[in-house]
A and B are shown apart, each in its own frame.
Chain A
């Protein structure tokens, strides 16, 4: 502030309060008077409303609008039940035990599919990522199969596995396998060759390199793959459970559809969303635990 080339009589100075107190030096020829801009401290610009309140206001407003439309009759309960009623039905379904048991069945299916899919996807990626021969043998067929929309295989799976648990778990397995394969494979191949060279120069053997350099280096990719896989697992579950199910959340929904119970359907959708959120939370925690060596950008 002490060096101000601004002419004392400059029109409308931004910093009038300050610049008047400083005696401006005589104007030097050849120097254009710089236009000074006050830099306001960030803290003074922040709004008083806390962030979490702003974040929750949107959904709450939407909910209020929904309730309003329902109670005024614009939204018929046959089309979409009002939020209050959905909460009531949700509570009833929990109380009579049908929702918990359906959730248990669905969770078991996802867990089994996820387990098999993770084992196959990771296994295949390791084979093709770590060995040249494996790449030649495995990668091409997997890339080919990947283009087949797995949901389209449901009829074939019903013929092969019947209508029990097997085709449902198989569909989830299939859906989980490919994203995991792609990301683990890319993760392995993306490991910095400089680090591999450093490992070699430190005297690590082939297995040592895999264990200390390649696999930890592929872990971020693998976890990204796992997150994609989880999303697809829920999607596959929805498809699988709408076909000949006699238990599970999907079965609850199909039943509700037959009785035009939009409230039950919405409850089931909320449960699906909640389970997806929970799975995402688990993977995030896993990432925080396993990737704590990565300096993360937390945002401002």
Chain B
């Protein structure tokens, strides 16, 4: 837990060197603080997973970092080039997949730009399809392509695999891992799946009642194996932090 990433340096000096720098962040709904004096730094290129029970404020934090929620107090510095992929793919159903990918990009980007991003997520052949004809996994990959085409320094993922079936989820997790290694952007992955967090992240944060309650570095080599005993140990430790006791301990 003890890390020195929170050393006090002047904001101007660190703002450029970090993908996210948040200090004293508070967000209240009707007087109830959902995020309470939170502090978080993410290094460029770092993969951070944010775990927590539902309602702990992790999705609110992600929305704030995405710039979608501005009713905040405190300091929040976030990369200007950032992109979000939500739990639901949120594709515009009235735009073909490739137009969805290009939506909101400055200038008049060529279709080939979208095609390249779609190829990267293995969806090049569906570029001309209507979003409602895509399967859940395909739609989620299109949403990823839409995020990646912005060449973000920070990729915010809000439980992007939550709605996928088990097999599709494994593939999608692998894809995100590969994309991250290729692109080298910082990633903040909000999830409630401990396994997923340990599988992908450099650092796992556990959020509880509006703060980062626990921090765990994952130093396993990639690609990681679920069968690795150290993997199981990290997983059990994090589960305990989340208030779930594993069978081994119960015995």
Contact = CB atoms under 8 A, between A and B. Distances in A.
Contact of B103 (A204, A217, A219, A293): A204
Contacts of A219: 94
Contacts of A231: none
A213 interface: yes
B104 A203 contact: yes
A144 B113 CA distance: 51
A295 B133 contact: yes
B74 interface: no
A195 to B, nearest CB: 6
Contact of B88 (A194, A202, A216): A194
Interface in A177-231: 194-195, 197-204, 208, 212-213, 216-217, 219
A66 B65 CA distance: 74
A212 B132 contact: no
A208 to B, nearest CB: 7
Interface in B78-134: 83-84, 86, 88, 90, 92-95, 103-106, 130-133
B66 interface: yes
A219 B146 CA distance: 24
A225 to B, nearest CB: 17
A201 B130 contact: no
B104 A202 contact: yes
B68 interface: yes
A208 B104 CA distance: 8
A202 B146 contact: yes
Given A201-B66, A292-B130, A217 B104 contact: no
A212 B103 CA distance: 8
17 contacts: A194-B86, A194-B90, A195-B90, A197-B90, A198-B92, A199-B104, A201-B67, A201-B84, A202-B83, A203-B106, A203-B150, A204-B103, A204-B104, A212-B95, A216-B94, A293-B95, A293-B131
Contacts of B94: 216-217, 219, 293
A217 B95 CA distance: 11
Given A194-B90, A201-B66, A204-B104, A295 B84 contact: no
B163 to A, nearest CB: 13
Contacts of B95: 212, 216, 293
Contacts of B103: 199, 202, 204, 212
Interface string A262-300: 000000000000000000000000000000111100000
Contacts of B93: 293-294
B68 A201 contact: yes
Contacts of A197: 68, 90
Interface of B: 66-68, 83-84, 86, 88, 90, 92-95, 103-106, 130-133, 146, 150
Contacts of A204: 103-104
A88 to B, nearest CB: 50
Contacts of B130: 292-293, 295
Nearest to B96: A293
Q: Is the interface of B mostly helix, strand, loop or mixed?
A: loop
A294 B92 CA distance: 11
A241 B104 CA distance: 51
A173 B219 CA distance: 72
B4 to A, nearest CB: 32
A216 B103 CA distance: 14
Contacts of B131: 293
B67 A212 contact: no
A284 to B, nearest CB: 18
Contacts of B84: 198, 201
Q: Please give me the 3 A-B residue pairs with the lowest Cβ-Cβ distance, nearest first.
A: A202-B104, A198-B90, A216-B94
A195 B68 contact: no
Contact of B86 (A198, A213, A293): A198
Contacts of A294: 93, 132
A203 B81 CA distance: 10
B185 to A, nearest CB: 16
Nearest to A203: B104
Nearest to A213: B92
Contacts of A292: 130
Q: Which of B83, B90, B105 has the most CB of A within 10 A?
A: B90
Q: Which of A195, A208, A293 has the most CB of B within 10 A?
A: A293
Contacts of A208: 104
Contact of A212 (B86, B92, B133, B146): B92
A200 B132 contact: no
Nearest to A290: B94
